[in-house]
Amino acid sequence: MIFSIDDVLTPEELQHITDRLDPKDFIDGKLTAGWHAKLVKHNTQLTKKADYTEELTQKVTAALWRHPLFKVATQPKTIHSMLFSRYEAGMSYGSHVDNALMGSRSFLRSDVSLTLFLSDPTDYEGGELVIENTDGERTYKLPARSAIVYPSGALHRVASVTQGVRWVVVAWVQSLVRDPMQREILFDLDTARRSIFQQSGKTIEFDLISKTHSNLLRRWAEV
């Protein structure tokens, strides 16, 4: 399931983050890429040694946790491996799949990937996120403060930036429900019950869908 989320950050949070990011604190993105992805990764990323990296990471993480659509759709157990990435003219990230396991000694699984846009589409040319699917490729270039969420197992790439600078945050989710089809079923059920509640209140139909949603989550969740 691929979906976009609007207004992940407040305008004030976006301003704070972009004010803090300093290009001199960015290092070669190849340092965090898998052995095969290094061949096609051409960007820079905020070093973990910068004195503000942890602060910005916590700010974005908190914004994701408070967003109801993000929580319902991804069923997050943990949000991890967050990176602040910068693409200037000539930079790109060729076709790749995200590592299934991330970390050095204590591993975390990547079930869901996300890209949170810090730049407006008018700030740069090119730089689209391209996700490959069985029916072809789809491109995404969202407004600042919006995020695209997609399965970590999907082949994807970032098209070459031809002008301007593309700033994004990328992160991964280890979900309580690792199977994407099961997550989609839970999402659909939750969407349906919320619609029923909004239109008719706490009806028998609402109760039955809530029961099914709860029991499936109980059956599928890995805690």
- Residues in the annotated binding site: 96, 98, 156, 166
Closest CA to 64 of 150, 14, 5: 5
**Distance between CA atoms of residues 136 and 132, nearest Å:** 6
CA angle in degrees (0–180, nearest 5) for 222-56-92: 85
Binding residues for Fe cation, as ranges, are 96, 98, 156
Closest alpha carbon to 174 in 104, 81, 95, 96: 81
Vertex 210: Cα angle to 209 and 216 (nearest 5): 90
What's the Cα-to-Cα distance from 142 to each of 17, 59, 87, 186, rounded to whole Å? 17, 20, 15, 26
